[in-house]
Amino acid sequence: MIDLLLLLILVIFAIAAVSMKDLLNTTIILGAYSMIMAIVWTRLNAVDVAFTEASVGAGITTMLMLAALSRTRRKEDEQEPGVEGKRPERFNIRNLLLYIVVVVTFGMLIYGTIDMPDFGDPNAPVHTHVADRYIKKSYKETGELNFVSAILANYRGYDTLGETTVIFTAGVSVVLLLKKKKR
Amino acid sequence: MKEHIIIRTVSRMLIPFIQLFSLYVIAHGDISPGGGFQGGVILASSIILYVIAFGMEEGEKRVSEKMRAVLNSTGLFIYAGIGVLCLVAGGAYLEYGTLPLGTPQHASHLGIYGIEIGVGITVSSIMMTIFFETARHEDDEDD
């Protein structure tokens, strides 16, 4: 029941974020969206993911969006084509193609979920491959009690090294692109 | 936002606790949710809160540009360096168990600690860097 309510709130927030004209409102709604998403992850017992969602999605992303917002305009341009004088045509051929693409993609995504195993199904592929070894042996093999950390740092150490390198590259790129020139 | 006394007072009280919590998250990544990435992000957000409350110049005084530039690469260096130490100790790259620190289990535990700290340093410093460089400086010319 509460899960459905949370998912409903997520949909409402997503629609609100898209339909807002003020970018500051959109940023704050997306922060709230991440916070609700963190609660959903907690309900699914994925506490590490929930933690990341709360700190990165609701915390730092909102701050970085605000920082980016301080360099641009908050409001949408008033002088949109078609707003003045005559109303924009809703159903020209271009819009029709867009609607078809959206509907087909939506249908394919729904079709894709039909094959997915039920939530918590012990015979799902994710639970039958390596998860068993992680749960049974990770403490003996890595000395970590939290096996999410054990997977990230030990079994998937190269991935985490790559992830850290990606973050480093992102920071260096921002410095190279936006650095004020010394005068 | 420099003239808002409530924001300044509240953030001055909150920032030490946020930073303590971020260190807790990094240090307890092995027994509870969290780890270097999340802790680093929380540490960065405490500095960003400081900048928002007290202004860019005050923030630059606390975490200078040079310090950020050094910290950016220090964390990644620690991570990759621990990998190289494992090679020197005779194992595969990032095979922490071969480090000469007691039993393989214990060595692996300490190695993971090391890389969590490295990840934390790089992530927090990079997040601060992105914020400092992206946010509008007061002396920016309007364009």
A77-93 residue pLDDT tens: 665 555 555 555 666 78
**What's the pTM?**
0.84
Q: Which residue has the tokens 């078809």?
A: A100
Backbone angles phi, psi at A75, to 5 degrees: -95, 155
Q: Is B37 on the interface with A (CB under 8 A)?
A: yes
What does the pLDDT read at residue A89? 60
**Shortest Cα–Cα distance, B42 to chain A (Å):** 6
- The partner residue sitting opposite A153, judged by closest CB among B44, B115, B122, is B115
CB A13 within 8 A of CB A25: no
What does the pLDDT read at residue A54? 92
Which residues of B are less than 8 Å from A180 in CB distance?
A: 137, 140
User: Which site among A69, A161, A166, A183 would you substitute to test the B interface, given the most B Cβ atoms closer than 10 Å to its Cβ?
Assistant: A161
What does the pLDDT read at residue A103? 95
- The partner residue sitting opposite B136, judged by closest CB among A70, A143, A161, is A70
Q: A105 Cβ partners below 8 Å, 6+ apart?
A: none
ipTM for the assembly = 0.87
Query: Which residues numbered 53-82 in B keep a CB inside 8 Å of some CB on A?
Result: 72-73, 75-76, 79-80
Residue pLDDT, tens place only, B97-137? 888 888 888 888 888 889 999 999 999 999 999 998 888 76
Average pLDDT rounded to a whole number, residues B54-77: 89
Instruction: Kindly list the distances between the CA atom of residue A144 and the CA atoms of A135, A152, A153, in Å, as whole numbers in the listed order.
Output: 11, 11, 10
Check A149 against B45: CB less than 8 A apart.
no
What does the pLDDT read at residue A179? 77
Which residues of B are less than 8 Å from A158 in CB distance?
A: 94
* Distance (Å, whole) CA A99 – CA A93: 10
Residue pLDDT, tens place only, B4-44? 889 899 999 999 999 999 999 998 888 888 888 999 999 99
Residue B143 pLDDT level (bands cut at 50, 70, 90): very low
Average pLDDT rounded to a whole number, residues A67-75: 82
Check B38 against A51: CB less than 8 A apart.
yes
